[in-house]
Structure formats: structure tokens, C-alpha cells
Amino acid sequence: MAIELRIPEVGESITEVEIGGWLKNKGDAVQKDEPLVTLESEKATVELPAPDSGTIGEVLKQKGEVAKVGEVIGYLEQDGQGAATTKAPPKKAPEKTPEAKPEKGRDAKTAEPRVMPAAERALAERGLKAEQVQGSGPGGRVLKEDVERYGQAKEPPKREPETAEPAPAPQKAEAAAGREEEVIPMSRLRRTVAERLVEAQHTAALLTTFNEIDMENVMRLRKEYSEAFQQKHNVKLGFMSFFVKACIDGLKQFPALNAEVRGTQIVYHNYFDIGVAIGSGKGLVVPVLRNAERMSFAEIESTIGDFARRAKDNKLKVDELQGGTFTISNGGVYGSLLSTPIVNPPQSGVLGMHAIQERPVARAGNVIIRPMMYVALTYDHRIVDGREAVSFLKRVKDVIESPARMLMEV
């Protein structure tokens, strides 16, 4: 009996998805709840699990094709039904044993290497298998450069050093190879991110204000309590929890930054759903800390850590990426010294954190070295005045420089 594999509901207002890639091939045996295919929506990448144990039958939609919610994209033959015609080739069986650990560049569940399109062509041209090449791309993916390096290391020299005349030929080949282009379609998530960023520039009156924060007191506090904090809560004490708390403090005093424009109305939110920008293999995602004002330092750090781990594996749920009343983006983890973040519509503000650098600053008439961080606030000038924006950023600075304010509420 064949079971239909249908596109499930993946989130509110999402009517279609793009096939990101099948994790199993036709004829492969699968267990119940084992991921079969990745589905890319405009908000997240999700996996379609097997509804039952069986064997992959007919595949109707291939990678890159679009399917609507509820549409059948393939069939699963239940155990004992149709296995004779779709049984996986026995050649691969000896290569995989229960004890074998997936190599770098292989999917942890399928033990199949993840190969980029250009790398697939390079493998075919050289008559190589993906299993022979160690991947260096994100998540261990095999890149074209990995194949070329492997070929250069393994291929014996073919030219006889009889004359010096043929020497220019390899140089021409290398020059031609260096000017090759790889054209791949933008993922649905990347297209949506691009559209929303352009929308923000076109529909909102964006302006950015800057300040700098002395991180000495927060760094001293982290150093003093980091060990005890980690032992009690099983999570490291980072900077993000301090900034989430400081932003909530500022948003309470300047609620326009926690509001949004709906038509000709301004909607003020009496809750604080803070989006945290996280880089993933598919691009930037912004999971949301719901009711962050009720969360402790440990809950904030633990939740953000969980978001980051699942973002790398494309395991974030669609509802975790929806909504948000204010966003924090930390470009400092990538070394950014200063930037102007873009508001995530329909929000009205985003705080950009940056790298911490020791810089000379003036204190009480003396020049001293302090760990300083530039911060930037981009805001929608349609509903946020300059005075409010500058005052909000100054409040965040004051709270971070004097962390006791978070407890004393002064």
C-alpha cells in the first residue's frame, strides 16, 4: 500500500514551499519519523518526516520545484508492500555498518555526503565519488574547490618534460578555470529576506543613531559569576542577556520603539517579543524570545543557545520566526566594528551590537584604556522621534555600564 507524501501546513499565510532536496532516494528504506525531504518556505526550512516505516516509491517533485500545501510530492511504500520493485540496490549495503560514524561532509542521519552543484559536475568530470572527497563547506558540504584539491593531490603528472614548449597550456587552463562562474537559484528564504529588506527601505523612514558603551563593568561581572552561573544553570553567561534586559528597560520608557504602523494607526505592544538575529547555513534568521520581560538571564541565554544550534541544522519552527516587536543584531561576533542595521518590518527599531575593542577614553581628565563597544539604533522616523531614539540608546548605555540598574529599576 502506497502512502501519499503531502506538503503539510508549515505556518500561517504560507501556501506553497520549494523542495530543498530529498534526503532519501527512490528505493531507500526509511523508518517512521525519519526525515525524507527538506521544504523551504519564505520563513524557514523544515523537514517532512516519514509517516510510517517503508520504502521510498515514486518521487513527483524534485529539488527546486514549487509545491502547494496539501500537494502530493511522492509516495512511501509500506513495509512488505511494493518492496520487491523499489528495494534499494544491494551494492551500498556493505559500505554502511551500524558502527560506522559519518565522515565530515556527510549528513549525520543518511551518511550521504552533501555535495554542491558545481562539485557534482567536477566529480563527474574526474570520475570520482563524493565519498572520496572531504568537504570544507558549511556543515561539511563538498565544494568544487575540495574536488580540485583532491584531484591535484592524487592525479599523477601527465606531461613528459621533453620540451618547454607545452608549458603555457596549463597556465591557460588555470586562467580559464579561475574565471568560471557558478549560477545557483536563490533559496526561497533568501528571496524573502531580500524582499523584506527592500520593503523596509521603501516603506519606512529609516534613520540611525550611534553611541558607545564602556563594557568594563559587565565584563567584570561576567568574570566574577560566570563559573557559578554555568554550574547552576548549565549555560554560559553571555552579553546578549544583558542587552535584552537593557533594551526591555529602554522600551518600557520609550514605547514607540516597541510599536508598529498599521495603515494610518499606531499599534503599541504591551509585551516584549525580542527578535535575535542569528546566522545560519541558509542565511540570516530572527527567532523570537516571547515575553522576554518575564525571562531570567539563564532562560534568555539557554533559549538563544538552543535557537543557534537548531538554526545551523535548519530545525527552527516557523512560529518561532514569526512576530517580534523589536530586534537585536550582534555583528560583533563576526568582527564588525560599526554598521547600520535595517529594521525588520513591521517593527520600528533594531539595535546593532558590535565588536568590543580596547580604546583610549577620557575619564575625570585622564586618558585610560577601556573595553568599548559601538552600538547603533535604526528606527522608523514615522513614529519614533529623534529625541526618543537618542534617549533610548542612552538608556541602554547607562544600564549596561551600571548593571545594578537592572535590579534596582532606577
- How far is residue 193's CA from residue 278's CA, in Å, rounded to a whole number? 13
Active-site annotation holder among 269, 319, 381, 398: 381
Instruction: Order across the sheet with 2-6: list the strands.
Output: 2-6, 72-78, 54-59, 29-30
Environment class of 70 (CB within 10 Å of its CB; exposed 0-12, middle 13-18, buried 19+): exposed
Phi/psi at 352 (5° precision): -105, 120
First to last CA, the chain: 68
Query: How many CB atoms lie under 10 A from the CB of residue 54?
Result: 25
28 is catalytic: no
Helix residue ranges per DSSP H, 93-215: 117-126, 144-154, 168-178, 188-203
346 prior amide bond cis, ω within 30:
yes
Active-site annotation holder among 33, 79, 313, 385: 385
* Residue 254 DSSP SS3: coil
- How far is residue 381's CA from residue 206's CA, in Å, rounded to a whole number? 6
Q: Of 40, 2, 4, 3, whose CA–CA distance to 20 is shortest?
A: 40
Q: Which residue has the cell 570520475?
A: 127
33 is catalytic: no
Full DSSP string of 45-97: EEEEE-SSSEEEEEE---TT-EEETT-EEEEEEETTSSHHHHPPPGGGGGG--
Residues that are catalytic: 381, 385
